[in-house]
Amino acid sequence: MRSPIPDFLDETLDRHRSDRSGANADYIPDLASADPEKLGICISTLDGIEYTSGDSDFEFSIQSMSKPFIYGMVLEQEGIAAVIDQVGVEPSGEAFNELSLDKKSGKPLNPMINAGAMVVHALLGEPGVSLAERIEIVRAGLSEFAGRELRVDDSVAEGEWGEAYRNVAIANMLRSYGVYTDQPDEVVQGYIAQCSILITTRDLGIMAATLAAGGVNPLSGRQVLSPRVNRQVLGVMMTCGMYDAAGDWMTEVGVPAKSGVSGGVFGVMPGQVGIATFSPRLDKHGTSVRGANIFRTLSRELSLHIM
């Protein structure tokens, strides 16, 4: 007998399919021209059973959804205390691309906003690592979370670099405040390559399930993050993952989550499942409209709220 879960997922997508509100991200050419009708979902269990519906094998760039995973990698590399010394864990209440630094400490408020994500990115690898080497560390690391070899989409990266005035400004601000001594343009190029890695909704479901399983990838069985680092990542996602909508999201949906401007959203139910959705049209926070609404529906109907 067919499990009722795929039918439920088909029905859930159908209920949200006709919503055409929001708009594709416009500042990255490949995202602006992406098919806005694409719609996919994947729920992955901790033992790697994937329930999917819609365009779950369609590839899109990971964008800001890379941030929690790269944060986890850097926490493993440097230790939690050393990273907190450089990037805080407090919600900023600001948009993801604010030129934002904590006034007292002079460090980025958290690793989910771009300022913090760029500092985290710049910590990755041995001192003196080249740009190409760091991009390879990012690609290989994200592949561990997905359980398959991922690749950078150079066209997405080149398109974003052509419009990266805001991120270049943030990277220069970080350097001018002495947060790092890296070349700002290189930090942005590496961060953009990180954002341009291609995943499917199915990959994202497995990546979410890895965080739900205390850092163990359900496909490979590998411990990608230690339980303590995994907890740190989820704590930061819960409070900062949805930027200036984090409070609304946690009270209403109640699932630690992260969005990206390509239209992906993933949520983590610790000890239970990873959930991923994809739909390119975004709201004013840079979060997929249909993705967020599907999460609202799932939270209500499957009682996902962690409270």
Looking at beta carbons only, is 51 or 96 nearer to ligand DON? 96
Using alpha carbons, select from 65, 242, 259, 64 the residue that is nearest to residue 146. 65
Active-site residue identified among 83, 261, 273, 289: 261
Residues that bind ligand DON in the complex, under the rule CB under 6 A: 63-64, 96-97, 114, 160, 167, 195, 259-261, 286-287
- What amino acid is encoded at 180 in this protein? Y
Establish whether 261 is an annotated binding residue: yes
Distance in angstroms (rounded) separating the CA atoms of residues 265 and 242: 10
DSSP character for 100?
-
The verdict on whether 130 is a catalytic residue reads no
Q: Specify whether 152 is catalytic.
A: no
Q: Which is nearer to ligand DON, 118 or 213 (CB)?
A: 118
Shortest CB 7 distance to ligand DON, Å = 31
Half-sphere exposure of 176 (CA within 13 A, CB side): 8
Cα of first residue to Cα of last residue in the chain, in angstroms, is 33
Instruction: Determine contact, residues 194/42, Cβ cutoff 8 Å.
Output: no
Among residues 92, 138, 191, 233, the one annotated as catalytic is 191
273 is catalytic: no
Q: Is 167 marked within a binding site?
A: yes
Catalytic residue among 100, 120, 243, 289: 243
Nearer to ligand DON, 190 or 274 (CB): 190
Find out whether 191 is annotated in a ligand binding site: yes
Beta carbons of 229 and 79 less than 8 angstroms apart: no
Cα torsion angle, 115, 141, 34, 161, sign: positive
d(Cα 287, Cα 281) in Å, to the nearest integer? Answer: 8
Query: What tokens were used for 121?
Result: 């990115």
Residue 224 among known ligand-binding residues = no
Q: How far is the CB of 95 from ligand DON (least distance, A)?
A: 9
Select which of 51, 53, 67, 253 is catalytic.
Answer: 67
Does the annotation count 180 as an active-site position?
no
Q: What is the C-alpha separation between 210 and 144, in angstroms, rounded?
A: 10
Is 243 considered catalytic here? yes
114 is in an annotated binding site: yes
Smaller CB separation from ligand DON, 167 or 210 = 167
Residues of the binding site for substrate:
64, 114, 160, 167, 191, 243, 261
- Catalytic amino acids? 64, 67, 191, 243, 261
